């Protein structure tokens, strides 16, 4: 006689316990999304359109998570991505931030990033590719697999190339295990377009395409200052002016790789500074002298030759 009322009471309690609203702002803070986006702004100069897309993606995933909590019809969103742009534009760094963001929102279990190229996936003989690719996928499960210069997986001109085998394994995993792995393909925009045209299976599985713009001269100068500060170096006022001219000239040369080229240039400036200090030192040096990059440490670059010297990205350049 009392069973039915008791069942009704339990059902009513369950209904009352189920959430009927979600505070997105609080979810945003509790999941630590703001922390990741603040890190993105702090660690990466420029890239405004990229940061905008990351924020939009974070908002979408936050809403999808809220819908799931409220019991609304949903399916796991496709999270595989394509990052296109020139070298040195921050693609790997953003991929790391994205892995952290997806983990905080509960879309991947671990939040780690496994970064690979063709050589990590494709074997050199029959029977070698499958175990290599599967081993990488095993390491990446629960996180993000970042494949740089992904178009090198596909080499139709070579009949004995095993890249197609790796592609087929990747496509299968991207479809069947998308709840436990996010794949990010990266490379030059034009080559990635050709790659997608030749491999439509990838295009159909990629939900987010993000293009990374080149840095401006001013942004590269700010990046340079930040790179040096993190190593407890700084530029004299004259050196900063020379570096600004260096950036403008270097960008006009072939094989410029944005922040990567700037990092190489600063490494050479530090090399010249060390040689200058060693050769000219007449007594003890204080921390300021050991930390200051002078104009001559940069102006010695062959980029300032007239006409400009060869590609300045090689550490073999004479200091």
- CB-CB contact of 232 with 255 (8 Å): no
Q: What is the pLDDT of residue 313?
A: 52
Whole-number Å distance between alpha carbons of 27 and 34: 10
- Which distant-in-sequence residues (6+ apart) come within 8 Å of 99 by Cβ? 108, 111, 112, 113, 143, 144, 182
Whole-number Å distance between alpha carbons of 298 and 243: 7
Q: What is the pLDDT of residue 144?
A: 97
Domain ranges of the chain: 21-212, 217-304
Whole-number Å distance between alpha carbons of 188 and 210: 12
pLDDT in tens, 53-93: 999 999 988 888 888 888 886 777 889 999 999 999 999 99
Q: What is the pLDDT of residue 264?
A: 96
Phi first, then psi, for residue 195 (nearest 5°) are: -60, -45
Q: 84: which 2 tokens? A: 């296109």
The residue behind tokens 């892995």 is: 99
Beta strands in 217-293 (DSSP E): 234-235, 292-293
- CB-CB contact of 69 with 172 (8 Å): no
Whole-number Å distance between alpha carbons of 171 and 189: 20
Residue 63 CA from chain centroid, whole number: 24
Residue 283, classed as helix, strand or coil, is: coil
- CB-CB contact of 226 with 232 (8 Å): no
Q: 166: which 2 tokens? A: 């790796």
Whole-number Å distance between alpha carbons of 145 and 148: 10
Q: What is the pLDDT of residue 312?
A: 53
Euclidean distance between the first and the last CA atom of the chain, given in angstroms as a whole number: 95
CATH number of 217-304: 1.10.8.60
Phi first, then psi, for residue 318 (nearest 5°) are: -70, 125
Residue 251 CA from chain centroid, whole number: 22
Q: 95: which 2 tokens? A: 């991929």
The count of other CB atoms within 10 Å of the CB of residue 53 is 17
Beta strands in the chain (DSSP E): 81-85, 113-116, 144-148, 182-187, 208-212, 234-235, 292-293
Cα torsion 148, 119, 312, 226: sign: positive
pTM of the model: 0.84
Whole-number Å distance between alpha carbons of 137 and 171: 12
Q: What is the pLDDT of residue 310?
A: 55
Q: What is the pLDDT of residue 129?
A: 92
CATH superfamily of 21-212: P-loop containing nucleotide triphosphate hydrolases (3.40.50.300)
Q: Which stretches of the chain score pLDDT less than 70?
A: 1-18, 73, 159, 308-319
Instruction: Calculate the average pLDDT of the chain.
Output: 88
Whole-number Å distance between alpha carbons of 48 and 29: 22
């Amino acid at each position: 006689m009392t069973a039915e009322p008791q069942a009704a009471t339990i059902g009513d309690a369950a209904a009352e316990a189920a959430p009927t609203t979600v505070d997105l702002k609080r979810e945003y803070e509790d999941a630590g999304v703001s922390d990741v986006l603040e890190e993105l702004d702090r660690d990466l100069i420029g890239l405004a359109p990229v940061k905008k897309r990351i924020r939009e993606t974070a908002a979408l995933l936050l809403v999808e998570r809220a819908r799931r909590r409220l019991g609304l019809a949903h399916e796991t969103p496709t999270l595989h991505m394509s990052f296109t742009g020139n070298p040195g534009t921050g693609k790997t760094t953003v991929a790391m931030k994205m892995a952290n963001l997806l983990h905080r929102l509960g879309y991947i279990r671990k939040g780690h990033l496994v970064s690979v190229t063709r050589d990590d996936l494709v074997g050199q003989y029959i029977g070698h590719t499958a175990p290599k690719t599967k081993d990488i996928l095993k390491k990446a499960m629960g996180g993000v697999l970042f494949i740089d210069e992904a178009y090198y997986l596909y080499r139709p001109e070579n009949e004995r190339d095993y890249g197609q085998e790796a592609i087929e394994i990747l496509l299968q995993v991207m479809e069947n295990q998308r709840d436990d792995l996010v794949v990010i393909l990266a490379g030059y925009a034009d080559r990635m377009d050709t790659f997608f045209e030749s491999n439509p299976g990838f295009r159909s599985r990629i939900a987010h395409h993000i293009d990374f713009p080149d840095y401006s001269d001013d942004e590269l100068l700010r990046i340079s200052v930040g790179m040096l500060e993190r190593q407890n170096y700084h530029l004299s006022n004259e050196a900063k002016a020379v570096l600004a001219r260096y950036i403008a000239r270097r960008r006009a040369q072939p094989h410029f790789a944005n922040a990567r080229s700037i990092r190489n240039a600063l490494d050479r400036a530090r090399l010249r500074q060390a040689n200058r200090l060693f050769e000219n030192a007449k007594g003890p040096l204080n921390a300021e002298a050991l930390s200051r990059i002078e104009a001559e440490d940069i102006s010695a670059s062959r980029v300032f030759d007239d006409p400009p010297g060869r590609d300045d990205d090689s550490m073999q350049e004479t200091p």
